[in-house]
Amino acid sequence: MTPVRKRGLVVTVIGLCQIFAWGSSYYLPAVLAGPIARDTGWPLAWVLGGLSVGLLVSGLVSPLAGRAIEGVGGRLVLAASAVLLAAGLLALALAPTLTAYAGAWGVIGLGMGAGLYDPAFSTLGHIYGEEARSLITGVTLWGGFASTVCWPLSALLAAHLGWRGACAAYAALHLGVLLPLYLFGLPRHGAARRLPPPKPVGAPVARRAPFWLTAIAMTFAALVMTIISVELPTLLQARGADATAAVALGALLGPAQVGARAIEFVVGRRGHPVWTMLAATVLVAAGLAALLLDRAFFALAVLVYGAGGGIRSIARGTLPLALFGREGYPTVMGRLAMPSLIAQAASPVLGGAMLSGLGADRMLLAVLALAGANIVPVLLLIPYARTGAPGAG
């Protein structure tokens, strides 16, 4: 098998698995929360809170996952994520009480921390070093179809098997399909061509500053985008769109994300990823600002916002690789992922409190202010992109 085909296989395996890893975890409550609440009588807010439990756990274990990828390679860690997600989904299907339901989400969180974008990017960076940038973009192109594929699939499974049967079916998919793909489709630890290690790093202060600036930018972005993802239909309706229009506008997010990633893949891969991160941050802020305008601008606002979110996923993996190099990249990614995922875990509660306490317009202004402020740490990273300051402190 030629190196090109080998890389194509690796991207295809990880990308295909990302669709179902995201679809059966992060995107699962969007379709199944209603049926779960109706069937069990559990409060809908608590049912949706299961995802917050999963995100919190995934954030806490992300540094461990990064160190594990550094030590044994991504193949075994991603394979373990398939087993953990399967175990959590099966526990979800069997959960007799709300406490058991929350515990199942804790197990799913372990699988998310070991198997979503950050570990996938870490795996690619660990194998291919700085050459992984285009492969990371390729994985995000696959991952952009997670909701497109899994929302209808979840609805279909729930309609025919019930929500418990849907969770069990996803568990079987992880064990029967994703686990073998990881084990047989990814190279063993050290099997891929290893690139030479980077040059010795500079002063510790020079290493710490870009790491913390990157962490701040990624955490603020995660906070903004998770709040908006949860509250977007409500915000659109509060701003004057009817329920049907709000759903239709929300459906534009997926194509906007994938389209922007495809454009970045073609025109952006020769530039430093800091420019991708800056473009993503500006686009997100611009899209939120457009939501404050007349309803005629709503479609444009969602498209611009979605484009920013789409390329942010690329920068999330490529910027740390460019700033800090391949050596220690999985560990750096795990450390960077922890505050972002914890912020995501808090976002649904925070967004709901802001919406009820401030109202839609003031909430949107507050989130826009946070998105605008997030441009500052990205701008401060530009000198490090020019000098190539390596290391993570």
pLDDT tens, 48-83? 889 899 999 999 999 999 999 988 889 999 999 999
Tokens in use for 194? 């290893």
Count of CB atoms within 10 A of residue 171's CB?
Answer: 22
Structural domain for 175, as ranges: 3-185
Q: What's the chain's Rg over C-alpha atoms? A: 20
**Euclidean distance between the first and the last CA atom of the chain, given in angstroms as a whole number:** 39
Q: DSSP assignment, residue 201?
A: P
Q: Which of 122, 156, 185 is the last residue of a domain?
A: 185
* Cα dihedral sign, 156-157-158-162: positive
By three-state DSSP, how is residue 306 classified? helix
Digitized pLDDT (tens) for each residue of the chain, 393 residues in all: 444 448 889 999 999 999 999 999 988 987 888 899 999 999 888 888 898 999 999 999 999 999 999 888 899 999 999 999 999 999 999 999 999 999 999 999 999 999 998 999 999 988 888 788 888 888 988 888 887 788 889 989 999 999 999 999 999 999 999 999 999 999 886 544 444 444 433 344 346 889 999 999 999 999 998 888 777 777 888 888 877 787 778 778 878 888 888 888 777 667 889 999 999 999 999 999 998 888 888 899 999 999 998 899 888 888 998 888 878 888 899 899 899 989 888 887 788 788 778 888 898 999 999 999 999 999 999 998 865 544 444
Asked if residue 154 and residue 278 are part of one domain, the reply reads no
Tokens standing for 3?
A: 């190196």
- Rounded Cα distance between 361 and 354, Å, is 10
Can you give the CATH number for the domain in which 14 is found? 1.20.1250.20
User: What is the rounded distance in angstroms from the CA atom of residue 42 to the CA atom of residue 2?
Assistant: 54
Place of tokens 């049926």: 35
Task: Give the separation between CA 245 and CA 201, rounded to whole angstroms.
Answer: 53
131 exposed, middle or buried (CB, 10 Å; 0-12, 13-18, 19+)? Answer: middle
Q: Which amino acid is at 344?
A: Q
Same domain, 133 and 270: no
* 224 and 154 in a common domain: no
CA–CA distance, 328 with 340 (Å, rounded to integer) = 19
pLDDT tens-digit series, residues 278-294? 999 999 999 999 988 88
What distance in Å separates the CA atoms of residue 125 and residue 333, rounded to the nearest whole number? 10
Token pair listed for 11: 């991207």
Both 218 and 366 in one domain: the answer is yes
In a domain, 247, yes or no: yes
Select from 185, 213, 230 the last residue of a domain: 185
130 part of a folded domain: yes
Q: How many CA atoms lie within 13 A of 167 on its CB side?
A: 23
Enter the pTM of the model. 0.82
Q: Is residue 153 part of a domain?
A: yes
Residues 151 and 254 in one domain: no
**20 & 153 share domain:** yes
CA angle 323, 329, 330 (to 5 degrees): 145
276 with 319, same domain?
yes
Amino acid letter for position 310: G
Calculate ∠ Cα 250-255-258, nearest 5°.
130
255 shares a domain with 146: no
State how far the Cα of 338 lies from the Cα of 378, in Å rounded to an integer: 19
Compute the CA torsion angle 65, 67, 69, 73 (nearest 10 deg).
-140
Residue environment code for 63-77, b if the CB has 16+ CB neighbours within 10 A, otherwise e: bbbbbbbbeebbbbb
